[in-house]
Chain A
Amino acid sequence: MTASRLTTGGSAIDRSRPIRFNFDGTTVQGFAGDTIASALLANDVAVVGRSFKYHRPRGIWGAGVEEPNALVDVGGPQATPNTRATTEPARDGLVAKSVNATPNALADRNAFLDRFSRFIPAAFYYKTFMWPDWHMFEPRIRAMAGLGKVDTDWTSPGTADQINHHCDVLVVGAGPAGLAAARMAAGAGLSVTLVDDQRNPGGSLGHRAGEIDGKPAAVWIEETVAELAAGGHLILPSTTAFGIYDHNLVGLNQRHLDRRRDTLWRVRPRQIVLATGAIERPLPFANNDLPGILSADAALAYLRRHAVLVGRRIVVATNNDSAYEVASALAEAGADVTLVDIRRDGTPDTPAKVRLVKGRALAAANGKLRVGGVTLDDGTRLDADCVLVSGGCTPTIHLFGQAKGKLTWSEARAAFLPGDPVDGISVAGAAAGAVSLSEVFAGSEKAVASLGQTKAAVPRSTGPEATGGMAAAWPLPGSKGRIWIDYQNDVTVKDIELAARENFVSVEHLKRYTTLGMATDQGKTSNLPGLALMAGITGRTVPEVGTTTYRPPFTPVPLASFAGARVGELMAPVRRLPLENVHRSSGAVFQEYGGWLRPAHYGGRDADAERAIQDEALRARKSVALFDGSTLGKIEVIGPKAAEFVDFLYYNTMSTLKPGRCRYGFMLSENGVVFDDGVLVRLDEHRFVVSCSSSHVTAVHARLEEWRQDRFGRDAVYIHNATSEMATLTVSGPNARKLLEAVGLGLSLDDAALPHMTVGHGSYAGNEVRVTRVSFTGDRSYEISIRADRAEPLWAQLRQAGQAFEAVLIGLEALMILRAEKGFIVIGKDTDGTTLPHDLGSEGPRTKRQTEYVGRRSLFTEEASRNNRMQLVGLTVPQGEAPLPTGAHGIKRENGKLHSQGFVTSSYQSPTLGRPIALGLIERGATRHGETIEIQHLGKVRKAMIAAPCAFDPAGDRLNA
């Protein structure tokens, strides 16, 4: 029997609430307030996992976020892989599994790997499995190495809350430094937010001795927290400040004891006080990774918080004063304690009931599955069931480093400390190198004073003070045995020596070559010893070696926290039509087009879809089609300079357009490339409607605004995007006019009154309607725009009146066929990022226009004038063949080699023509009509003839039919 629960004590546990949970298939008993780790220790479970690479048995090392070994996969309703057992609360009914162990941590079947360890040093796998291909071996190697497993069967029951928060001061860490700073800042009238990653506030005061203002530490903590709460300040326990981002945005991840998802906080404090404490380092000796070897400070925390005595015969190895309190407390609790201090002189008084061995270090730990004793550097062997080590403290300066704070090396503390201050951030307590409570409180006072507050009452330490005496004990090159530097990644002294031999001496190379400091713990215990060893090997100082870059997150954060509510449909919300439900009841099959959810076709799912689309396109040509074109852009341009403005924005001259008429044109980018096409409607002298492509509305609107503000001024033009204010219902086909006359829109549809490319105004059921006679099908068409919330009765009326004409509802897929038959292009589909307007056959403005417009100069470059540009064409295939694949390349053969000479951009079966049609961009295509070229797709070559883009009704008779 070694580790055990004492019958009394334990400030964190509630003995009246026993709990049971499952670890690796066995039942573990504990109390409310236990972590998984404290409960496992109380049940004397020594081996809690297997190491990343060698499958070495590993036990609990620490009592907090730094834990490198004790990772568990928590299953069930809150399934989370690689959870630290030292921070995860033990809950009744919880199921936890050790990582990288099959079937369990104690009897792992890959444990044999450790016997071959000398043959598999750092980078072994990469060097060995180069030939023939690393990817051939990777899956099996990955299966043998690694940590936890994601439960892919599990899906989230809800989403994580995300909260934006503002305060005057954010204090990170509720240890003595943080509590004192929070209390002083609150006393000075500032709004304070205090966060701590532990369940209970107090930090080291929760297990280290201290007396403040004449009161026991526990009383002072309670009073301070109560005062902050009473003052309305926000206190967040179980919450990790994981990152400081630009302009001092702080990310917090809050864990909940119930089964809710974690909560993500985005905090914008005016000032930040980092009181993040320090983390104890291991000491270097052979087999220093055996289960039963713990951080001395952690052992004290388990004793005083959880009433767990980690062993009966304990060796405490140290290079500093802090372990003396640990040795004393364990001896008081009934353990047999030997304290081994590497220092010969300057050690504190020997604690009562403790054997002190001075001037000695541990050479090795002995044991297989757990530690059974130690060998000192003089050969002395000591029996032990537990070894505690204290290699000094590493200040937790990660957040300061993330904020681009510079670090300075302290020889006295053997650690990096925060250097020059960063705007808005101060560091206090052990994170700034303080040891005694007096130093801690002085640091808190300074931090609060730096916020401009000086009047606060400073707490006083009234008890015995901790001392910071230490002698550095870094791992040394050439040491005997296997000495672990990084437990989590199985990096030993020899691996770092190997890296140095192979010239990976830069700290960033060292990290990537050996994996030192990677994975879930990010080297919280291992980085500094690793750097110090590299310094020793290469004859440099530690600050010369330097640290790797500090990056968020400080501890792993569930992706669900970052995702928040942006999951499923909300990840990329679609825009919806006002008549969506009506289309659904008509059997519409919806698809997303450029961010809009639109009917693709009506009826005919899966295999029947193509037949439904063909049927819609065929019937549209026969009589009349109804189409919901509400997504079409409707951006109004209004003002005294509106005409001048559209002239500048369009490639085509638009100011000559008469009120009541429409004109088709291109908008270019400044590099001349066609950016959008569409119809411009002139409603009156100073009012236009830009009817741009559905998926480009936002971009076109932004572009109009940019030119308006940059070139024309706010008073000259006003721009209003009315796209979603109005629904646009399109009626197209030979019987379109007859259908509308049956419905009655309060305006004359006579071709003399409303010819093609004009706009008229009428009304339906008391609502204004705008009727634009433009066509994207090539047939007589009317686009009727009406207030979006009044569109439904009109649509119903159109359908009812349409019955007499066998009107057909068409979705976007049929429309695509109809427009392609006419050679009408879709920007971005039939054009690309090099297409200029004259490539599409629009040469007029380029050669004739004398006024300035966007993109003008770019149309006269050498590139724009090349005689072998790709030009828009139609492509026809021999009778009876299938449509060409979209994206297939037109090819030419030169000197026995294949070259692309363009590609197919749109390709459909035309039901009206009874043959495939296609559009493409082909080199010099406009001058090659009638020529047959080869088209290649996936190695198959077919023949196609270049033709005019328009394959149907080239004379345009049907517009007025």
Chain B
Amino acid sequence: MQLFPCPFCGPRDETEFHYGGDAGNARPDGADVPIDRWAGYLYLRGNPKGSAHEIWVHMTCGEFFVMERDTVTHKVLSSAALGGEHAA
């Protein structure tokens, strides 16, 4: 079982977290966003091997944050609160 560092609570068991998607997947606003752009936002993911920036939420405190981890070794490389404040 992995240990994830919540920027607010410190290291906790992975069972307390939910995955929230790729970090940096900015939402395009508007009813006239090109459909390819919208489909990319909804469905296209990088699925990187190695370092990945991901959004996670620590369910017990409710805070979302950005975690960088290695998808091969499962090593956690960094974690930071959204917007950079409270960075671990």
Contact = CB atoms under 8 A, between A and B. Distances in A.
A857 B3 CA distance: 38
Contacts of B30: 852, 856-857
Contact of A857 (B1, B38, B57, B82): B38
Contact of A709 (B18, B33, B63): B63
B12 to A, nearest CB: 11
Given A247-B74, A266-B1, A706 B57 contact: yes
Given A857-B38, A858-B38, A858-B42, A247 B2 contact: yes
Contacts of A705: 57, 62, 64
Interface centre among A247, A268, A671 (most CB of B within 10 A): A247
A861 B57 CA distance: 31
Nearest to B64: A709
Contacts of A268: 3
B57 A702 contact: yes
Contacts of A741: none
Interface string B34-49: 0100100110000000
Interface in A257-286: 266, 268
A247 B18 CA distance: 18
A247 B12 CA distance: 12
A812 to B, nearest CB: 28
A711 B14 CA distance: 25
Nearest to A849: B31
Interface string B12-39: 0010001010000001111101010010
Contact of B33 (A247, A249, A266, A857): A857
Contacts of A713: 83
B53 to A, nearest CB: 14
Nearest to B28: A857
Given A268-B3, A858-B42, A710 B64 contact: yes
Interface in A847-895: 852, 856-858, 860-861
Interface centre among A246, A249, A268, A709 (most CB of B within 10 A): A709
Given A246-B2, A852-B30, A857-B33, A671 B42 contact: yes
B22 to A, nearest CB: 13
B82 A710 contact: yes
Interface string B44-88: 000000000000010100111000000000100000001100000
Interface string A483-507: 0000000000000000000000000
Interface string A234-260: 000000000001110100000000000
A249 B14 CA distance: 12
A670 interface: yes
B2 to A, nearest CB: 4
Contacts of A670: 27, 41-42
B40 to A, nearest CB: 12
A246 B74 contact: yes
Contacts, number: 46
A856 B42 CA distance: 12
Interface string A506-541: 000000000000000000000000000000000000
B1 A709 contact: no
Contacts of A266: 1
A266 B3 CA distance: 13
Nearest to B4: A247
Contacts of B31: 856-857, 860
Nearest to B29: A852
B32 to A, nearest CB: 8
A706 B20 contact: yes
Nearest to B1: A249
Contacts of B62: 705
Contacts of B27: 670, 711
A852 B18 CA distance: 27
Contact of A247 (B3, B28, B29): B3
Interface residues of A, number: 21
A709 B82 contact: yes
Nearest to B3: A247
A953 B33 CA distance: 42
A480 B1 CA distance: 48
Interface in A687-714: 702, 705-706, 709-711, 713
B38 to A, nearest CB: 5
A706 B2 contact: no
Contacts of A671: 42
Nearest to A671: B42
Nearest to B62: A705
Contact of A246 (B1, B38, B41, B59): B1
Nearest to A860: B31
A651 B74 CA distance: 39
A230 to B, nearest CB: 31
Contacts of A856: 30-31
Contacts of B41: 670
A474 to B, nearest CB: 35
Contacts of B1: 245-247, 249, 266
Nearest to B83: A713
A706 B64 contact: yes
Interface centre among A671, A710, A713, A857 (most CB of B within 10 A): A857
A751 B73 CA distance: 66
Contacts of B42: 670-671, 858
A702 B57 CA distance: 9
A860 B39 CA distance: 12
Nearest to A423: B75
A713 B85 CA distance: 12
A341 B33 CA distance: 81
B81 to A, nearest CB: 9
Contacts of A709: 63-64, 82
A422 to B, nearest CB: 10
Contacts of A249: 1, 3
A789 to B, nearest CB: 24
Interface in A99-148: none
Contacts of A245: 1
B48 to A, nearest CB: 18
Nearest to B81: A709
Interface centre among A246, A670, A711, A713 (most CB of B within 10 A): A246
Contacts of A857: 28, 30-31, 33, 38
Interface centre among B2, B3, B35, B62 (most CB of A within 10 A): B62
B57 to A, nearest CB: 7
A168 to B, nearest CB: 16
B42 to A, nearest CB: 6
Interface string A664-686: 00000011000000000000000
Nearest to A268: B3
Contacts of B29: 852
Nearest to A708: B64
Contacts of B38: 857-858
Interface centre among B1, B18, B74 (most CB of A within 10 A): B1
Contacts of A246: 1-2, 14, 74
A266 B13 CA distance: 11
B17 to A, nearest CB: 12
Given A702-B18, A857-B33, 20 more contacts: A245-B1, A246-B2, A247-B1, A247-B2, A249-B1, A249-B3, A266-B1, A268-B3, A670-B42, A671-B42, A702-B59, A705-B64, A709-B64, A710-B82, A711-B27, A856-B31, A857-B28, A857-B30, A860-B31, A861-B35
Interface of B: 1-3, 14, 18, 20, 27-31, 33, 35, 38, 41-42, 57, 59, 62-64, 74, 82-83
27 contacts: A245-B1, A246-B1, A246-B2, A247-B1, A247-B2, A249-B1, A249-B3, A266-B1, A670-B42, A671-B42, A702-B57, A702-B59, A705-B57, A705-B62, A706-B20, A706-B57, A706-B64, A710-B82, A713-B83, A852-B29, A852-B30, A856-B31, A857-B28, A857-B31, A858-B38, A860-B31, A861-B35
Interface of A: 245-247, 249, 266, 268, 670-671, 702, 705-706, 709-711, 713, 852, 856-858, 860-861
| Ranked 4 nearest A-B pairs via Cβ | A246-B2, A249-B1, A709-B64, A857-B38
